[in-house]
Amino acid sequence: MMNQKNVKRHPVPQARRGTEAKSSDPYAKKGGIPEPAKCSACEAVYHHKRWYSKGDPVVIELQSEAFDRTICPACRKTQEHFPGGIVTLRGEFLDSHKDQILHQIRNEEVRAKGNNPQDGIISIKETERRIEIHTTSEKFAQRIGKEIHRAYKGEVNYNWTPDDKFVRVEWFRGAEKED
């Protein structure tokens, strides 16, 4: 076993605080939103620089306060159809398991919204041999890809833009193998 004292570590460059933009999301308001604020569309609440679902205990505590009305970034993205990620599912396996897979994706959306109400599905487009899902965030699209791959195997590819604010997730599984 190697002696830990003899292991040289390479310094990791650290970003200097305050020098980089926190988010490059064009739907995040510069300078923040007055707090507390409530989304007129989904009733999510913005408090302490974070969005909470309407049933969250933090939101329940704030019910007696006056809210500024706004439209949250996820609802604006949905209204303007501006996806953060696109998930494409295709293959012969999809044909025979479409309902089951779509049900699992909807369940994943419910779980994701429990953690972050900004994660959601903008649209689901079904064609004869594929399903295309547009999501409000790149992380949620990645989460769907990982969940479908974990549950149904197949092949999954993630194609990120250079700024990591958009991803195309492509999942494929052919016919079931006969043994």
- 32 or 48: which carries more pLDDT confidence? 48
| Residue 110, token pair as written in the block | 């419910």
**Which carries the bigger pLDDT value, residue 7 or residue 79?**
79
Sheet order of strands, 167-172 included: 121-126, 130-135, 85-90, 167-172, 155-160
Query: Which whole number is the average pLDDT over 44-64?
Result: 84
> Do the Cβ atoms of 123 and 109 come closer than 8 Å?
no
Q: To the nearest 10°, the Cα dihedral for 173, 141, 41, 49?
A: 160
Give pTM, 2 decimals.
0.79
Check residue 79 and give its pLDDT. Answer: 95
Amino acid at 114: G
pLDDT for position 24: 63
State the pairing for strand pair 45-47/50-52: antiparallel
Mean per-residue pLDDT, 10-38:
63
Q: Is the pLDDT of residue 17 over 70?
A: no
- Residue 102: which pLDDT band, with cuts at 50, 70 and 90? very high
What pLDDT shows up at residue 89? 97
Encode 92-115: b = buried (16+ Cβ within 10 Å), e = exposed.
Answer: ebbeebeeebbebbeebbeebbee
Q: How far apart are CA 142 and CA 103, in angstroms?
A: 17
